[in-house]
Amino acid sequence: MIVPRSLARLSLATALLLAAGGAPSFAFSQIGRQDGTVADQDGVIAAPLPPLEAPKAPPPATQPPASDAAANAPAPAQTDGAAAPIAPSAPAPTAPTPPAAPATPPVAPDATGTPAEPPVAPGAQKEEGTDPAASQAAVPSPPAGPPPDVVYGDAGLPAPVRDLRAKLMEIAKSGEIDKLRPYIEPGEDGTVLSFGGIDGDPIDYLKAASGDGDGVEVLAILLELLESGHIRSEPGTENEIYVWPYFAGLPIDKLTKPQKVQLFELVTAGDYQEMLGFGAYNFYRVGISPDGKLQFFVAGD
């Protein structure tokens, strides 16, 4: 097919304008005749067009957020000719965890400003290192078996015991504590006046233990003990002994009201409450062996 020269020139001009890029664009039109034929002449009219807009770049594709596992996954090893791996993103900082509340709430200090000791759960031991079993071992247990018979006066006493009892009561009424010296046995197996032992003269020790400093109070206590009821401890054995008052051989928390009346002749109600906490009678007591020896005149337990 033969292309007219006018059309060829139009196509060439259009291509040159498009190749220019930034140059303004024109529209070309071929002038024709009324009968529809194109004149074979070079009449070309160029009309400027608005500049063409450069095509917009497509928006960058949004990548979905990487999961924690993908973010923390190690990067693959770099191979020759491959692009350097992208370092994994650092994990997001987490909020610090608040400290846990203490298991035991703080205890307010007492009136002296010393913090009170927190309560101990049942079955738990204190943090002081003391063993509860050791503390219980220090408290004497009540006598096992049925309580011993309580006897008053000289009834049932062997003659040596009866005689020594009468002599001790006579000395106590005299108020002269030095008269006790012949009846206090010396030595390790002698008369016990203190569970911790004594140093020096036994009569001086008794005077010092007396409230008046002259031994009169101690003699009054001795008289009250020997006038009360007594018990026979470990009868028929080599440890048999007669003990005044009988409270020393009975559970202190099992006394009847009449027995408490007799006890309060020796001690006060406050002393009795302390004995209940201690677990046994712990005031003065007298022990005489069947052969008539003064085994002990001692307080405590």
pTM: 0.53
Residue 252 lies in a domain: yes
Residue 264 domain boundaries? 170-298
List alpha helices for the chain, DSSP H. Answer: 5-20, 68-72, 132-138, 159-174, 202-209, 216-227, 257-263, 269-278
What integer pLDDT is reported at residue 246 of this predicted model?
96
Predicted pLDDT at 83: 47
**Partner residues linked to 26 by β-bridges:** 48
If pLDDT is split at 50, 70 and 90, which confidence band does 146 have? confident
pLDDT of residue 300: 81
DSSP assignment letter at 235:
T
**pLDDT band, very low/low/confident/very high, at 145 (cuts 50, 70, 90):** low
Is the Cβ–Cβ distance between 236 and 245 less than 8 Å? no
Asked if the model's pLDDT at residue 140 lies above 50, the reply is no
162 in any annotated domain: no
More confident residue, 193 or 89: 193
The sign of the torsion formed by the CA atoms of 101, 103, 105, 107 equals negative
pLDDT exceeds cutoff 90 at 67: no
pLDDT in tens, 149-194: 899 999 889 999 999 999 999 999 999 999 999 999 988 889 999 9
Question: Is the confidence at residue 10, as pLDDT, over 70?
Answer: no
pLDDT of residue 150: 93
Answer yes or no: are the C-beta atoms of 248 and 285 closer than 8 Å: yes
Q: Which amino acid is at 301?
A: D
Q: What is the mean pLDDT of residues 1-19?
A: 49
3-class secondary structure, 19: helix
Q: How confident is the model at residue 53 (pLDDT cuts 50, 70, 90)?
A: low
Residue 15 has pLDDT above 70, yes or no: no
Residue 241 covered by a domain: yes
Q: Is 143 exposed, middle or buried (0-12, 13-18, 19+ CB in 10 A)?
A: middle
Whether 237 shows a pLDDT value over 50: the answer reads yes
Write down the mean pLDDT value for the chain: 72
Amino acid at 186: P
Q: What mean pLDDT do residues 39-55 have?
A: 51
What's the pLDDT tens digit per position in 245-282? 999 999 999 999 999 999 999 999 999 999 999 999 99
Classify residue 274: in a domain, yes or no.
yes
**Residues contacting residue 40 through CB under 8 Å, at least 6 positions apart:** 4, 6
How large is the angle between the packed helices 202-209 and 216-227, nearest 10 degrees? 90
> What pLDDT does residue 56 have?
58
- pLDDT band of 95, cuts 50, 70, 90: low
pLDDT the model gives residue 211 = 93
Query: For the chain, how many structural domains are there in total?
Result: 1
Tell whether 275 is covered by a domain.
yes
pLDDT exceeds 90 at position 39: no
